[in-house]
Structure 1
């Protein structure tokens, strides 16, 4: 089932941020924890992972951990299911002579009546990679036999682990976890890099280090590397505005409210003000696991991600990935091609460009192999003649 909606951080309050270099971390605390859903990590190590999506399609990626969701159907508290670390001597003999591979069945798989194992963030990334994956449904003259027979297979994107993002490891190490904290908004040079929300404060304390193993986009990596320290926003009380402890408490509460409002309307507006196409992946008692895709507006902040929501609308879990400009362009191009049945002329008209220019965009997006070679040569020659 697919719907269109916006994200809401209902029940979550943003507290003053902490900064480390170009990294800004904004804690999110819950007014009331969600006790009937709990998350814990299942560790997989550093092996390359293959996920069987169906009989003909597989997803390959670095997947260091999965999340196990445990819930109750009647609203009674649930306990996080215990996990075990691997024994320290398992690899005493050294790595195998070839790259090892770990196999998973499905992105989200029920492991018990009230427990579900899913692969965090990769559930969302697989949705992005599968965007119009089948390729042209109509055999227009421009498309090659490969485009019609295999579509966009293989579909490849690159990302950076958190360990490669400058300053993130130190920021997470010195980050102060607040009482009641159930999430964080992570910024690189004040560009929103990721949002992470869990149902319970104990879950957040256990999963906080997992942010270092998550995947981050090209923009986040470069911003953290190239930009200097971000400014620290400090609360200021005007002279003569406070004459008692009660007045000081009121002024502190006002400053907190202003910070939360500034954060949701300015800093995180690109994430929260966008209408997403949401696809439900699995029902989990009163909860639903879903993933979402943005409208792929060019030159705008665009995020993909996944959520777990309660049937009453509460957001229990959220994890997002910010797309780079190039990834947004690829999504925009694929969406337009699919909307016009992969007809070259109609798509070029919708973009306001010539067929030659559209062919160039398809090639620059990495989809040039889907075009017939003679068509590619023709468009290249036409583009050269036009430039002369």
Structure 2
């Protein structure tokens, strides 16, 4: 079950399934990297994506005097038609082949909001930054009630600044080689990336031509420290191969039937086992922009400790089917921070009530907040009191 909110807080339609309309194909393995192709039976023709390269740091203006600085290697431009007729990717045009003039110094790019309409039926958005903004802005204003435990900084500034680190795809061992040598299937519109058989990201686009163009941008995407450690420290994963018992094969029809059966088993294995943490989590959705019959949204997980938790963004059609998807797996520390903030907000930031729900003492909860990086939200004398109680409890 998924819940959904529009920016105004009103309910809106949420996707019925993240991978609806997509079929998985047998995975391809390179070291600790496993890529699972996603294929559409019928491509989406009236929405197309193409990349816009930024290549450098950028300042994103969120409005309301809120800005943040991040490395933004590329953006996506979505173009759609109003009558369902086929659309060409905006970057598809003839050139004279002359390279652009190189700029010797790194430039700072300024972006107005995450998703900006550039024309009537053209939208520029920053991939994954929509999803990360949703996570970073989680209860960003801080305590809703000025309980005595909270510091003046917490009451005035909330959680500002929020900082999260991530790895560039080029720093993930084996990913560049895997993307370079692996086969792109006919009709492929997406991929599931597993690192040490832990789901790292899902990437889906509307059209096979879009995927061939955007396939290399997976190296420019962001990946969490958890999956980076998995790819770095874990051994190569097994390459599961299909086996068909020859005793049941008496004709080409029998062989074809066995191949279809094995393909269905592969799809069930990838969907129900390999990617279950992503596909089965209960998400909270928020609409970002309407695009004709399509809707750009982002989602947050329920922040389940010691389980897979993925944030992400998606474009869905009027039936809730996924047209575009990009996800980011949170580390355990990021899940812990999201879980603590969510439970505090659910209890109006009352420490004692939140601690009781979590089965902790108020002092234990205060020290957990400090460990999670939120110690500055508590008054110094209150935090010192919690530390002294913890020390006394160990004696």
TM category (shorter chain) comes to over 0.9
User: Residues 54-104 of structure 1, C-alpha deviation per residue, up to 9 Å, x if partnerless?
Assistant: 122112211100000000111110110017999554234xx36xxx52210
- Greater mean deviation of Cα atoms: 230-239 or 118-127: 230-239
The match for 1:52 is 61
Pick aligned residue for 2:188 from 176, 181, 187: 181
Q: CA RMSD in A?
A: 1.5
Q: Aligned equivalents of 2:144 and 2:369: distance in 1?
A: 17
Aligned ranges 1:312-323 → 2 under 5 Å? 312-323=319-330
- TM score, norm. by length of structure 1: 0.96
Aligned to 1:53, what secondary structure does the other structure show? strand
Q: Which runs of 5+ in 1 are unaligned?
A: none
The match for 1:71 is 80
Question: Are residues 1:272 and 2:279 paired?
Answer: yes
- How far off its partner does 1:232 sit? 0.7
Q: Which runs of 5+ in 2 are unaligned?
A: 1-5
Aligned ranges 1:42-121 → 2 under 5 Å? 42-45=52-55, 47-82=56-91, 89-92=101-104, 95=105, 100-121=107-128
How many residues align? The count is: 382
User: Residues 295-353 of structure 1, C-alpha deviation per residue, up to 9 Å, x if partnerless?
Assistant: 00111100000000000222100000000011000000000000000001111111110
Q: Aligned equivalents of 2:102 and 2:29: distance in 1?
A: 38
Q: Aligned equivalents of 2:127 and 2:280: distance in 1?
A: 23
The match for 1:24 is 34
Question: Are residues 1:11 and 2:21 paired?
Answer: yes
Q: Aligned equivalents of 1:375 and 1:5: distance in 2?
A: 44
Judge conservation of contact 1:163–1:169 (CA < 8 Å) in 2.
Answer: yes
User: Residues 8-56 of structure 1, C-alpha deviation per residue, up to 9 Å, x if partnerless?
Assistant: 31111000010000000000000100000000000001x2111000122
The match for 1:249 is 256
Q: Aligned equivalents of 1:101 and 1:10: distance in 2?
A: 39
Aligned ranges 1:187-336 → 2 under 5 Å? 187-336=194-343
Q: Aligned equivalents of 1:41 and 1:57: distance in 2?
A: 26
- Greater mean deviation of Cα atoms: 158-167 or 241-250: 241-250
Judge conservation of contact 1:6–1:276 (CA < 8 Å) in 2.
Answer: no
Q: Aligned equivalents of 1:387 and 1:59: distance in 2?
A: 42
Question: Are residues 1:130 and 2:137 paired?
Answer: yes
Aligned to 2:184, what secondary structure does the other structure show? coil
Q: Aligned equivalents of 2:194 and 2:35: distance in 1?
A: 6
- TM score, norm. by length of structure 2: 0.94
